[in-house]
Amino acid sequence: MELRSEDMKNSSGILKTTTLCAFILSLFYAILRFSPYTDLEAFQQNRSYGMVLLDVKERVIRVFPSRDGVKREWVDLKDIPKPVTDVFIKAEDRRFYIHPGVDPLAIIAGVFRNARAGRNVSGASTISMQLVRMISPHERTFRGKIGEAFNALRLEMRLSKREILELWLNNIPFGSNVEGIQAFTRARFGINVSVLDAERAVILAVVPRRPGLFDPASNKDANLSAALALAEKCKITDKSAIAEYAARAGISGENPFLAPHFSERVKALLNAEDEAKIVRTTLDIDVQNYAEQRLSVEIAKLTYNRVHNGAILVIGNETGAVRAYVGSNSWFTDDSFGKIDGVAVRNQPGSCLKPFLYAFAIENGFGPNTILPDIPSSFGINESYAPANFNHRFNGPVRLRVALASSLNIPAVWTLERLGVSRFKDFLGTLGFNSVLEKTETYGLGLALGNAEVSLEELTRAFSLFETDGVLNDLKFILSPESGYAPTPQRKISPYTAFIIGDVLSDEESRWTGFGRNTAFRTRFSAMFKTGTANQYQNIWALGATKRWTVGVWMGNFSGETVVGKTGSSIPALIARDLLSLMERRDTPSATREELVFVEEKKICALSGLSATGFCPGIVGEYFHIGQESPLPCFWHSGGNVAYPPEYRAWLTEHFRTGETEKSAQGLAEIRLPRDGTIFYMDTSDSGQTQGARVETTGFGDAAVYLDGIFQGNLNSAGVFILPLSPGCHTVNVRGEGNSASAAFEVK
């Protein structure tokens, strides 16, 4: 009986002891698992990692450092080859998967080794303990080591082994301001960690022990010796490969610094939450490199002309994807302000705005056959504006097609005056020219010739809509891995308008009037081009497009420095042509412009733009909407004679052209120039010289000219008289047989 009682007491004691141990273990677990570990939370939330930009073929463009300036990149554990993780575990913590965060066997072994050596030659830190030192830095004291071990146990209670390994691999300090396996792999071998092998891994894995001693970039012998020793432990047999890799480490491993303006632009588009990401962009490094090379070669030829900079933008029409983005001739040339982004800088585009002006005209009832006057003209009332063509010639009546293809100035200003500057400005705003909308004051009729300041980005994007049936895409810089390209197309003009403008700018015959046989526009594929110059050749531009691609090129100076001589827009045109050729060769078969189902070709008179008759000596084809009523039969030609509208009288006579003019409507005689209310400004630099204003009339035969009632002389056979100018308010009168007209003007 007493024996049984004793057994019961022993059983009760064991139970109490077991219960107490279980309680203590549970309490210890609860403390480890649930006690606040704010350092860990802060580390996970606030640790910053660099951003990696890849091109469309997943080649590295640039790696941005983390917010604290350290070269540190994030890589998921699944993207690190297992042989690589095995090497790092073998190097630092071979029992990583079986200990709870602290390795007792390693501690005991370390104590004996240190005792035998009489100094501290071996530590016992596990991967978890090393990670704890990154999370909660502390002094290397006994108390600090106890806290480190405690936190390592807490870490293991909160994170899985895979999470700990992933966090450690991404934050290992390698020295040289580099942390994490991804960043160090790139820095020493110039490759992504996803293609790292075990032979190169051993070279890297020994560095964290003593970065100053074992970094292969600074001490190859020490690194190789340590790497070979680690290879023995890892049973890696290809020693020659290790030696070869160690010899090259640090030489080819520079971080790439490609397309700097593009990469800065992409970084600006992303917010802080996008850091630590691998960002797949739309850029193509091959196209980028070619564009940079072509720009550099051409600028080198223009050193004497003081052209120091340029910019290039290449986009895909279907999606708006940016394939090349060259912001300047060189990012590193501070004397020519190379860090300025020429794609975004605003400059006057010159004639590059004309395609959009004529697109607006067609949207408002004009046609490619509409006749526009290319004759001496004065526009405006408050300030007289008398534009001239770049070749200082006048071509008389020209079809809209010819006026645009040959980039004639006077017809463009004439067209804008009838459409309205304010309306055209608003239209440009709908095409994404925010720079035009931001200016509050009026541009005047000079807007037709590009006196507004716009960016290469705005011009190139808008130019692409002529090859996309009038649909405009936002530019795409980032390629989403989930959904691919995500264009947001918006129709801006009708498919007919887009087709006509594109057809005109790819029509070599219509360019002849302004450019002759310009070889810069010749391609083996269908392509459209537009060039422009502005500010006395300070800005030279070229736009080119095929069905799939659009290229914009600007050349000039960010400083506003004037050029020497006339550089000409054929230079950027050659660059645009070559880039389009490259893109079309890379993207076969080549796309061609197709005659769309909504247009039909009709025969018209090349001079009048009206339906051709048997009397018309020149007949050309022109595209019209299917079902659109044909133009009236040509009445300019009859019986071998040609009769021009009355406003072409002076042009016919002064340029010795054959033909005659019709009488003015209802037989009225008019003063074309100057307009009633015009204000002229005297040229103060021309002192001592008589300055005059051109008086041009229609409908008069032999007629006398009076200034303020005083007879000045008679009109010449062209109906023209040069009137001497003097300051003040004046009235000019023209009196003929049965006709008279007058106009008031002021001279300041």
Clarify whether residues 153 and 21 are in a common domain. Answer: no
**Which of 536, 557, 586 is the endpoint of a domain?**
586
Clarify whether residues 401 and 455 are in a common domain. Answer: yes
The neighbouring-strand residues paired with 71 are: 178
Question: Any residues with CB less than 8 A from the CB of 16 and at least 6 apart, and which?
Answer: none
Give CA separation, 731 vs 289, 615, 683, in Å.
64, 44, 20
Edge-to-edge strands of the sheet including 728-736?
A: 678-680, 739-747, 728-736, 703-707, 710-714
Residue 594 falls inside a structural domain? no
Task: Label residue 483 by pLDDT band (50, 70, 90).
Answer: very low
174-200 in b/e form (b: 16+ CB < 10 A) is bbbebbbbbbbbbbbbbebbeebbbbb
In the predicted structure, residue 326 carries a pLDDT above the cut 90: yes
Max CA pair span of the chain:
156
CB atoms within 10 A of CB 589: 7
Cis status of the peptide bond prior to 36, with omega within 30 of 0: no
Give CA separation, 91 vs 84, 87, 120, 244, 311, in Å.
11, 6, 19, 21, 50
Mean pLDDT of the chain: 84
Structurally, how many domains does the chain consist of?
A: 5
Q: Which domain holds residue 699?
A: 661-747
**Which of 542, 560, 586 is the endpoint of a domain?**
586
Clarify whether residues 670 and 564 are in a common domain. Answer: no
Clarify whether residues 500 and 607 are in a common domain. Answer: no
Question: Any residues with CB less than 8 A from the CB of 732 and at least 6 apart, and which?
Answer: 671, 674, 695, 705, 706, 707, 723, 742, 743, 745
Rounded distance between C-alpha atoms, residue 403 and residue 362, angstroms: 13
Rounded distance between C-alpha atoms, residue 390 and residue 574, angstroms: 20
Structural tokens at position 325:
């983005």
In the predicted structure, residue 508 carries a pLDDT above the cut 90: no
**Which of 248, 274, 291 is the endpoint of a domain?**
248
Clarify whether residues 431 and 502 are in a common domain. Answer: yes
Q: pLDDT tens for residues 27-48?
A: 656 666 667 788 888 898 888 8
Burial label for 702, CB within 10 Å (0-12, 13-18, 19+), is exposed
Clarify whether residues 565 and 521 are in a common domain. Answer: yes
Q: Map tokens 């009076």 to a residue.
A: 706
Do 602 and 609 form a contact (C-beta atoms < 8 A)?
A: no
Q: pLDDT tens for residues 244-297?
A: 999 988 765 567 889 999 999 998 888 655 665 788 999 999 999 999 999 999
| CATH code, domain with 241 | 1.10.3810.10
Give CA separation, 650 vs 232, 376, 594, 653, 660, in Å.
98, 9, 42, 5, 10
Q: Which residue has the higher pLDDT, 318 or 683?
A: 318
Q: pLDDT tens for residues 77-105?
A: 999 999 999 999 999 998 999 998 888 87
For residue 117, give the amino acid letter: A
Rounded distance between C-alpha atoms, residue 164 and residue 131, angstroms: 8
Residue 324 falls inside a structural domain? yes
Question: Any residues with CB less than 8 A from the CB of 617 and at least 6 apart, and which?
Answer: 637
Helix (H) or strand (E) holding 166: helix 161-169
Residue 254 falls inside a structural domain? no
Cis status of the peptide bond prior to 674, with omega within 30 of 0: yes
pTM of the model: 0.82
Task: Label residue 690 by pLDDT band (50, 70, 90).
Answer: low
Clarify whether residues 359 and 474 are in a common domain. Answer: yes
pLDDT given at position 593: 54
> What is the DSSP code (8-state) at residue 148?
H
Residue 297 falls inside a structural domain? no
